[in-house]
Structure 1
Amino acid sequence: MSEDYRRNNQSTLMVEQMVLMDIQKLLQSMQKDIKMYPLPNIDDIYDASRDIPREIFEEASIEANEDDVALLDTLNKEQQATYDDIMSSIDTEDRGLFIVDGPSGTKKTYLYRALLVTICSQKKIVVAIATSSVVTSIMPGGRTAHSRFKIPLTISNGAFCTFTK
Structure 2
Amino acid sequence: MIGIWIQLLKRQHCQTPHMIRELFCYHFIVLPGFGPLISLEKIQRISEDFKKQLERQGDVDVEHSSDLIFNKCLSVLEDAVLSLGGRTVIHTLKEYELPQPITSIHFENREYVKETSYDTVALKDAVRKNEASLNDEQQEVYNKIITSVDANDGRIFFLDAPGGTGKTFLINLLLAKVRSIQGIALPVASSGIAATLLEGGRTAHAAFKLTLNLITAETPICNISKAILLKF
Question: TM-score range, shorter-chain basis?
Answer: 0.5 to 0.7
Equivalent in the alignment of 2:132: 73
Equivalent in the alignment of 1:40: 23
Q: Distance in 1 between matches of 2:208 and 2:119?
A: 22
Question: Helix, strand or coil for the counterpart of 1:40?
Answer: helix
Verify: 1:135 aligned to 2:194, yes or no. yes
Equivalent in the alignment of 2:92: none
- Give the CA RMSD over aligned residues: 3.1
Change (3 A) 1:18 1:82: same
Q: CA deviation at 1:162?
A: 4.2
Question: Helix, strand or coil for the counterpart of 1:111?
Answer: helix
Is the CA contact 1:62–1:141 (under 8 Å) kept in the aligned structure 2? Answer: no
**Which amino acid in 2 is paired with 1:107?**
G
Q: Distance in 2 between matches of 1:78 and 1:20?
A: 51
Equivalent in the alignment of 1:61: 117
Q: Distance in 2 between matches of 1:154 and 1:20?
A: 39
Question: Helix, strand or coil for the counterpart of 2:16?
Answer: helix
Q: Distance in 1 between matches of 2:154 and 2:219?
A: 34
Question: Helix, strand or coil for the counterpart of 2:163?
Answer: coil
Q: CA deviation at 1:147?
A: 1.0
Q: Distance in 1 between matches of 2:195 and 2:206?
A: 11
Change (3 A) 1:158 1:88: closer
- Number of residue pairs matched by the alignment: 138
Unaligned runs of 5+ in 1: 1-10, 22-38
Equivalent in the alignment of 1:109: 168
Q: CA deviation at 1:83?
A: 0.3
**Which amino acid in 2 is paired with 1:58?**
K
2:205 is aligned, of 121, 146, 154, to 146
- Report the structure number with the largest CA radius of gyration: 2
Is the CA contact 1:63–1:140 (under 8 Å) kept in the aligned structure 2? Answer: no
Q: Distance in 2 between matches of 1:62 and 1:148?
A: 20
Unaligned runs of 5+ in 2: 1-10, 26-41, 51-71, 77-106
Question: Helix, strand or coil for the counterpart of 1:41?
Answer: helix
Equivalent in the alignment of 1:28: none
Higher helix share: 2
Is the CA contact 1:129–1:144 (under 8 Å) kept in the aligned structure 2? Answer: yes
Equivalent in the alignment of 1:161: 222
Q: CA deviation at 1:14?
A: 6.9
Output one character per residue of 1:64-88: Cα deviation in whole Å (capped at 9) or x when no partner: 7679533222011111000000001
Question: Helix, strand or coil for the counterpart of 1:99?
Answer: coil
Verify: 1:17 aligned to 2:5, yes or no. no
Change (3 A) 1:110 1:18: same
Change (3 A) 1:63 1:146: farther
Is the CA contact 2:12–2:20 (under 8 Å) kept in the aligned structure 1? Answer: no
Q: Distance in 2 between matches of 1:94 and 1:14?
A: 49
Q: CA deviation at 1:143?
A: 0.9
Q: Distance in 1 between matches of 2:165 and 2:108?
A: 38
